[in-house]
Amino acid sequence: MSFEQPRINTSPKVSDEVRKTTCYMCACRCGINVHMKDGKVAYIEGNRDHPVNKGVLCAKGSAGIMQVNAPSRLRAPLKRVGPRGSGEFEEISWDEALDIATGWLAPLRKEDPSKLAFFTGRDQSQSFTSFWAQNFGTPNYAAHGGFCSVNMAAAGIYTMGGAFWEFGQPDWDHTKLFMIFGVAEDHDSNPIKMGIGKIKARGAKVIGVNPIRSGYNAVADDWVGITPGTDGLFILSLVHCLLKAGKIDLDYLARYTNAAYLVNRDSTSAEYGLFLRDADGKPQVIDRNTGKLAPFDRKGVRPDLSASYRQGGITHKPVMHMMASRYLAKEYAPEAVAEQCGVKPAKIRAIANELARVAFEEEIVLEREWTDFRGEKHSVMKGRPVSFHAMRGISAHSNGFQTCRALHMLQILLGSVEVPGGFRFKPPYPKPVTAHPTPHCKATPDAPLDGPHLGFVRGPQDLALREDGTPARIDKAFTWENPMSAHGLMHMVISNAHAGDPYKIDTLFMYMANMSWNSSMNTRGVIDMLTDKDENGEYVIPRIIYSDAYSSEMVAYADLILPDTTYLERYDCISLLDRPICEADAAADAIRWPVVEPDRDVRGFQTVLVQLANKLKLPGFTDEGGAAKYTDYADYITNHERKPGIGPLAGWRSGKTGLTHGRGAPNPSQLKSYIANGGFFIKHIPDEAAYMKPWNMAYQEWAVGMGIYDSPQPYVFDLYVETMRQFQLAAEGHGERQPPAHLRERIKQTLDPLPVWYPPFEDGSIDTGEYPVHALTQRPMAMYHSWGTQNAWLRQIHGQNPLYVPTKIWEKEGFAEGDWARVTSAHGEIVVPVAHMAALNENTVWTWNAIGKRKGAWALDEDAPEATRGFLLNHLIHELLPPKGDGLRWSNSDPITGQAAWFDLRVKIEKTAAPDQAKPEFSAIRSPVGKGPDELRWKVGE
């Protein structure tokens, strides 16, 4: 049969217009090209020019089109008319909604601003929301960092002035060995995938440390299927091997770290463990040129890592001595840690050997001259091409802060931070603790807070305590329970507010935080707290205001709903004042703008905050006469100045002779410039300033010019964190501010100024024989929190989540495909479907995060698999440790930062008859938005 090939049009029109904005399908903030046809979103792809994703886009990003049409989008402000949790609401106007909110908030501000708790979840506008809260005057503000990864962020900043992800990245162009710890498949998403692809293409190696071999760990050349919660011990064993072999970068340690700082070693001294300082407060070192004492940063000084110094009868030793005596101890030998870590001694040694080989045998040199802060000129930039990345897997444990510190110590010992081939900071980092604010908590009626809420304590003097020593904040951040809680403790807010511990609040105001479902530990308990009534029949938490774009589980538990827009319908700024999108080679920031207008009666949450601030006449938002400074968020983004010349966006500001970048006056057309430039601004760092940033004067001066610092801030890395020693000293009885008796021992043990490992707290408070199995969650690459399940395309990829069970347990329990298991922790029980997975630590089970849904939420059918077979591990995890019989509420958090210890969870697992659906079951909530269509054929163009 002869065949005539059809003629087809191979050049169809792609779109009428491309609008470039910033993605919000997860937290990575990639640039996207939104192709428009007939005013509708036709196709979304990555923006090739954008610094974060350089054209690529993940599954979530490409599925954004199904978010803009999602039936779960809220449509109008809602006022609760049924009991909390019923989902019974009445649609109201924005005028009424703002009146209600103002009616609740204005009296609180007048009488006691701390009666408002304002917590903002997965907020990307924290410099704005915190400014609002500060002007309201409540000390009770934070975003979600405390239940996410504060350990990672705080350990990085306290150790080296920056951490992973938003703070820095591997030198993808030069690194030869990339090692990841506890990295699931997010944070950050596309850049890590791009980086792994890039280094694999040139044959560089990847080592993955994770109990679960999926995602990045699946493509890693070598896998360490470590026992959860033991990463710190494993890392300290690597440190032991490297120290013992002398495979550390002594020159780097002497010049760029506090390894040479002299420490008071007299245990009877009130300054035991503190640095020897001169009259100006400068830490002292022995100068190897002269053998004499000198401030560490004096011009020409060669800090000596070895020499001790005796003064006034007190011996002072360099930090390096203390590290040697601690980490050379046999307790860190591979043989000593192997069983606990679930890693063979030979493998630990092989990895240490590989780190040593690549760092010291494959040294790379860039021919770039630079000058350090001691005035010394260097002809080259020398690099040790080993790089690391880590995320929640090591962070979300009660020993997470110290584990993250241990990892930073490892990379610093190798001399691989801020050097070619190593880990590099992204502006505005590096930024030492001294350049960060301390926390502020002084609330005054009818006045702003005395300063920014969140910050970095330098010692007990900076704790957020009231005059009577009780916590000033509802989440007990910056207290003796967790002194260095730089991101607050969002996971404790509802629990503490319900318990009235440390005090009762009136209004809980939240944004993008699904607290009655996947964003809380102890979900059932939190639901009960939100609906609990006192003896007068009033809700224990009297008022709840919530803002979300979608019909999440939390909506049903609020009294007033302020519906947000989707990310394609709004202005936003991804600011250098906040969590920017910089690269190691460039400073960058970005915007979102309404590429489509909302077709519902919804408003961007930040605009609503501006409108509320205007009604409340908050200083900062209104002038002395009470007139509004900003009409909406776009107006704020353009015209707000945090200090003269510094605004939310760094690009296209007004200079004396025209447009300028960094410092400059507000430019009324700034947003137009951003839109014309593809939605972002980027300014490259000069070559001679691109590495060695904390010590490189060319970088320091460039950063001042950009408005990142007001003056150069060179510093050295803190292998030894003196602030932690200050807390230990207090626990030992020194100083005026003293911890309560029940916390002294814990502070002494855990706030060690050198990285240390201790077992996760849950292990110490339950019978590990009864609960022998570790249980984890990971976020899938194609889904982000709960948002993905309402997405018609993404839920076809991850519509349910089995519990993955390793071979040993699978066989022992006699599981077969299609079976169900009862999983029990010290706190609760779930019954869930299981699946076998061999590439898994033999004592660990896991599942995907936040797939399980409550019936009636997210505009899904009540028999959706997310609601019938999907499940949360959250039911097994309590926000408190099991009671110790002392009547105290011990938070299930890291004792240093308050990071929620999700991954300390221990369970037992047994086969059980298949139920109708996953347990526990929850009644359906009434959907405030109805349900979605039966079929989608989503073609918007011809």
Say whether residue 48 binds other proteins (CB under 8 A).
yes
Q: Render 510-523 in DSSP notation, one character per residue.
A: EES--TTTTTSSSH
The pair of structure tokens assigned to 714 is 């060179």
Asked if residue 57 binds other proteins (CB under 8 A), the reply is yes
Instruction: Specify the residue, 347 or 734, whose C-beta has the smaller distance to other proteins.
Output: 347
Q: Which is nearer to other proteins, 566 or 622 (CB)?
A: 566
**Is the C-alpha dihedral spanning 502, 507, 508, 510 positive or negative?**
negative
105 binds other proteins (CB under 8 A): no
CB 637 within 8 A of CB 649: yes
Using rule CB under 8 A, residue 384 touches other proteins: no
Question: Which residue among 328, 365, 676, 914 contacts other proteins (CB under 8 A)?
Answer: 328
Q: Closest separation between CB of residue 30 and other proteins, Å? A: 9
Please, what is the minimum distance in Å from the beta carbon of residue 356 to other proteins? 4
Cα–Cα distance measured from residue 325 to residue 318, given in angstroms and rounded to the nearest whole number: 12
Q: Is 467 in the site for other proteins (CB under 8 A)?
A: no
Question: Which of the ranges 185-193, 527-535, 560-568, 903-911 carries the binding residues for other proteins, by CB under 8 A?
Answer: 185-193
* Interface positions, 690-749, toward other proteins (CB under 8 A): none
By the rule CB under 8 A, 542 interacts with other proteins: no
Q: Tell whether residue 243 is a contact of other proteins (CB under 8 A).
A: yes
Query: What distances in angstroms separate CA 239 from CA 181, 242, 323, 936, one per listed residue?
Result: 15, 5, 10, 56
Question: Which x/- pattern over 903-922 shows residues binding other proteins (rule: CB under 8 A)?
Answer: --------------------
The stretch among 145-153, 623-631, 698-706, 838-846 that binds other proteins (CB under 8 A) is 838-846
Cβ proximity of 187 and 165 under 8 Å: yes
Q: Does 782 bind other proteins (CB under 8 A)?
A: yes
- The pair of three-digit structure tokens given for residue 867, joined into one six-digit string: 């609601």
Q: Could you tell me if 902 and 551 are in contact, meaning their C-beta atoms sit under 8 angstroms apart? A: no
Tokens, residue 553: 């589980």
Among 83, 686, 772, 938, binds other proteins (CB under 8 A): 938
Nearest CB to other proteins, comparing residues 360 and 820: 360
x/- mask, other proteins, residues 192-231, rule CB under 8 A, reads -xx-xxx-xx-----x-----xxxx-xxxxxx-x------
Q: Which of 76, 92, 106, 350 binds other proteins (CB under 8 A)?
A: 350
- We find the least distance from the C-beta atom of residue 898 to other proteins, in angstroms, to be 32
793, 815, 846, 871: which one binds other proteins (CB under 8 A): 793
Q: CA 671, 676, 680, 681 torsion: positive or negative?
A: negative
Q: What's the distance, CA 414 to chain centroid?
A: 26
How many amino acids of this chain bind other proteins (CB under 8 A)? 116
Does residue 180 belong to the site contacting other proteins (CB under 8 A)? Answer: no
Q: Please, which of residues 254-293 interact with other proteins by CB under 8 A?
A: 254, 288
Please give the structure tokens belonging to residue 590: 């970005």
CA distance 629 to 131: 14
For other proteins, which residue of 26, 36, 65, 751 counts as binding (CB under 8 A)? 65
Q: Is position 375 an interface residue for other proteins (rule: CB under 8 A)? A: no
Q: Is 181 exposed, middle or buried (0-12, 13-18, 19+ CB in 10 A)?
A: buried
Residue 24 Cβ, how far from other proteins at the closest point, in Å?
Answer: 16
Cβ closest to other proteins, residue 324 vs residue 596: 324
Q: Tell me if 804 sits within 8 A of 840, measured CB to CB.
A: yes
Alpha carbons 748 and 727: distance in angstroms, whole number: 8
**Nearer to other proteins (CB atom), residue 105 or residue 253:** 253
**Does residue 116 bind other proteins (CB under 8 A)?**
no
With contacts defined by CB under 8 A, name the span among 49-57, 510-518, 664-672, 724-732 that binds other proteins: 49-57
Q: Binding to other proteins by residue 244, rule CB under 8 A?
A: yes
Interacting residues with other proteins between 10 and 39 (CB under 8 A): 10-14, 37
Residue window 301-320: x/- pattern of binding to other proteins, with contact defined by CB under 8 A: ---xxx-------------x
Residues 6+ apart with CB under 8 A from 359: 247, 249, 384, 385, 386, 414, 415, 416
Name 911's bridge partners. 821
Tokens of 589: 């920031």
Residue 827 interacts with other proteins (CB under 8 A): yes or no: no
CB neighbours of 8 closer than 8 A, spacing ≥ 6? none
Of 212 and 573, which CB lies nearer to other proteins in the complex structure?
A: 212
The smaller minimum CB distance to other proteins, of residues 353 and 371, is found at: 353
For residue 414, state whether it binds other proteins (rule: CB under 8 A): no
Q: Which residue has the tokens 């009770």?
A: 140
Q: Considering the rule CB under 8 A, would residue 931 count as an interface residue with other proteins?
A: yes
Range in contact with other proteins (rule: CB under 8 A) among 52-60, 536-544, 645-653, 771-779? 52-60
| b/e map 464-473, b = 16+ CB within 10 Å | bbbeeeebbb
Residues with Cβ within 8 Å of 254's Cβ and at least 6 positions away in sequence, in order, are: 260, 288, 302, 303, 304, 305
Note whether 254 and 297 are within 8 A (CB): no
Name which of 528 and 842 has its Cβ closer to other proteins.
Answer: 842
Tell whether residue 44 is a contact of other proteins (CB under 8 A): yes
Q: Does 924 bind other proteins (CB under 8 A)?
A: no
Please say which residue, 41 or 492, places its beta carbon nearer to other proteins.
Answer: 41
Tokens (6 digits) for 120:
């903002």
Residue 937 in contact with other proteins, rule: CB under 8 A: yes
Q: Which two tokens stand for residue 196?
A: 């792994």
Which CB atom, from 37 or from 298, has the smaller least distance to other proteins?
A: 37
Q: Which stretch binds other proteins (CB under 8 A): 40-48, 518-526, 694-702, 732-740?
A: 40-48
Helix axes 523-531, 490-499, angle to 10 degrees: 40
346 is a site residue for other proteins (CB under 8 A)? yes
Position 766 contacts other proteins (CB under 8 A): no
Q: What type of residue is 903?
A: F
| Minimum distance, C-beta of residue 323 to other proteins, in the bound complex (Å) | 9
* DSSP letter for each residue of 266-326: -TTSTTTTSBPB-TT--BEEEETTTTEEEETTSTT--B-SS--EEETTEEEEEHHHHHHHH
- 896-to-318, 486, 531, 722, 726 alpha-carbon distances in Å: 25, 10, 31, 14, 13
Closest to other proteins by CB, 336 vs 797, is 797
845 near other proteins, rule: CB under 8 A: no
Question: What x-and-dash track marks residues 69-88 binding other proteins by CB under 8 A?
Answer: --x-----------------
DSSP 583: B
Tokens of 761: 């707290």
Query: How many CA atoms lie within 13 Å of 640's alpha carbon, on the beta-carbon side?
Result: 24
Token pair belonging to 683:
């300014």
Return the residue matching tokens 């054209």.
55
**C-alpha–C-alpha distance, residues 279 and 632, integer Å:** 51
> In this chain, which of 349, 617, 684, 734 binds other proteins, going by CB under 8 A?
349
> Is 449:415 a contact under the CB 8 Å cutoff?
no
Q: Taking a C-beta distance cutoff of 8 angstroms, is the pair 101, 562 a contact?
A: yes
- Residue 145: which residues within 8 A CB-CB, separation 6 or more? 153, 486, 487, 488, 490
Candidates 27, 29, 46, 507; binder of other proteins (CB under 8 A) is: 46
In the block, residue with structure tokens 């590495």:
691
**Interactions with other proteins, residue window 426-445 (CB under 8 A):** none
Residue 63 CB, shortest distance to other proteins, in Å, is 5
Using the contact rule CB under 8 A, the part of the chain among 243-251, 383-391, 412-420, 669-677 near other proteins is 243-251
6 versus 814: smaller Cβ distance to other proteins: 6
